[in-house]
Amino acid sequence: MKTRQQYIESLRRLNPEVYMFGERVTSVVGHPMITPSMNAVAATYELAQGDIMTATSHLTGKRINRFTHIHQSTADLVTKSRMERLMGAYTGTCFQRCAGMDALNTLSVVTYDIDRKRGTRYNERFLKFLRYVQEEDLVCDAAMTDAKGDRRLRPAEQADPDMYTHVVREEKDGIVVRGAKLHQTGALNSHEIIVVPTRAMREEDRDYAVSFAVPSDTKGIIYIYGRQPSDTRKLEGKTFDVGNLYYGGHECLVVFDDVFVPWERVFMCREHEFAAELVEKFASYHRQSYACKAGMGDVLIGATQTIAEYNGIADAPHVKDKIVEMNHLNETIFCCSLACAYEGAAEPSGTYYVNSLMANITKLHVTRVPYELARMAQEIAGGVVVTVPSEKDLRDPRVGKFVEKYMMGVADVPAEKRMRVLRLIEGLTVGSGAACYLPESMHGAGSPQAQRIMIARQVNLAAKQTAARRLCGID
């Protein structure tokens, strides 16, 4: 397994084509906008010890980072949830390796199923790629979400065929693909890009039913950095105005401008009837992964309790009640994630898969709970959470004494401590950290309606009606 420093050095050897604020970024490692998110991924290497963060490879028998592991039991699924909460609390942000782990597990299932029905050799290719990922301890970016264009139209019906990533042509040694993947969390911190379809496909959409893996600096891949609230505070040097001093996240628009993919890296090519299975399984795995939001919730609850103490209101009954409610809601996320893991079962490939219904329940809770936690945190913190002066004002020889005087809460806590906690709450609920906590909670792994559709499809209403009719004598 790689160390933290070995991971960072491995990124230095890559040469991706990256654009930010209208300019080409020549060096990703060390860039102040990108470094906090790189540090969050590096933490997954830093903490890789013990049974939570590591596992035994079913391919080699070696000890590996759990983020590269294929689930071999319900215990693996449960440990995955525990790992994600741990990392969410440790970094207070998105640590960016979950989607890649979920894509690996999905492909271990679906490539096996395609081979079994089609006589292809995708699973053999995938296992070779997996062995490479495990041996090199790589970060994989799972690229699912297409631009989608006109949402009323299917992929093959779009005015611009590139609105969904698709096969442009086949060549002797591989395929050429074109399109884009949006909202790619941590793409610039990844070694490999794993592309999967974003929706179910029909025969006419077969060119869009494609899955493959390519090195992140492959020719033709272009990264366009996404803006976030208060993101340029990272350019101001070391200041507590960023809120989270150590970690952060980033998103990219990833363009595939006629990218060549060798056949040995192709895991689906026009088998349109398997796109729905791939999407559903990836979505369920990734919806379980939102146990990370319980970890981030731990940080926000801790900050809220602290600011209540600094404000002198921690003993107020209504504040105590809100803190209890925050914990109750936050633990519900983790309970749901554990439940879908404990109820998991083996697929024909041998890979263990979560209970899909409960995974969707998990994610639907996540679309609501973090917003409620943020609301209560802001209520307890007070309006100062978005009006607190900057650290530069605190250090200023003329006005610093006034900032220190009037930013005080209880007399025995320095104003700077109160300002630091306020900045953390601001970051998690309205600032750059909120992008990894709130909008990601809403839309990551699918928007709320996607979960409602899956719940409606999977819940057994007939059985519930039968139970009710029997008890009242209808049946």
Q: How far apart are CA 101 and CA 470, in angstroms?
A: 45
Instruction: Please identify which of the residues 84, 391, 426, 440 carries the catalytic annotation.
Output: 440
CA R_g for the chain = 23
Q: How far apart are CA 408 and CA 414, in angstroms?
A: 7
Q: Active-site residue 440, yes or no?
A: yes
Instruction: Please identify which of the residues 90, 94, 122, 208 carries the catalytic annotation.
Output: 94
Please check whether residue 344 is in contact with residue 354, taking contact to mean a CB–CB distance below 8 angstroms. yes
Q: How far apart are CA 156 and CA 197, in angstroms?
A: 13
Please check whether residue 123 is in contact with residue 115, taking contact to mean a CB–CB distance below 8 angstroms. yes
Instruction: Please identify which of the residues 54, 91, 106, 185 carries the catalytic annotation.
Output: 185
Q: How far apart are CA 69 and CA 352, in angstroms?
A: 11
Please check whether residue 8 is in contact with residue 29, taking contact to mean a CB–CB distance below 8 angstroms. yes
Q: Active-site residue 145, yes or no?
A: no
Q: Active-site residue 98, yes or no?
A: yes
- Write the CA distances from 233 to 250, 391, 393, integer angstroms: 14, 11, 15
Q: Active-site residue 91, yes or no?
A: no
Instruction: Please identify which of the residues 68, 98, 165, 198 carries the catalytic annotation.
Output: 98
Helices (H), 71-136: 74-91, 98-118, 122-136
Q: Active-site residue 286, yes or no?
A: yes
H/E/C letters for each residue in 279-324?
HHHHHHHHHHHHHHHHHHHHHHHHHHHHHHHHHCCCCCHHHHHHHH
Please check whether residue 198 is in contact with residue 148, taking contact to mean a CB–CB distance below 8 angstroms. yes
| H-helix or E-strand spanning residue 41 | helix 35-46
Q: How far apart are CA 194 and CA 202, in angstroms?
A: 22
Q: With CA atoms as reference, report the closest residue to 410 among 268, 300, 313, 335.
A: 313
Instruction: Please identify which of the residues 71, 166, 286, 365 carries the catalytic annotation.
Output: 286
Cβ neighbour number for residue 173 with a 10 Å cutoff? 10
Q: Active-site residue 340, yes or no?
A: no
Which residues participate in catalysis according to the annotation?
Answer: 94, 98, 185, 251, 286, 290, 292, 440
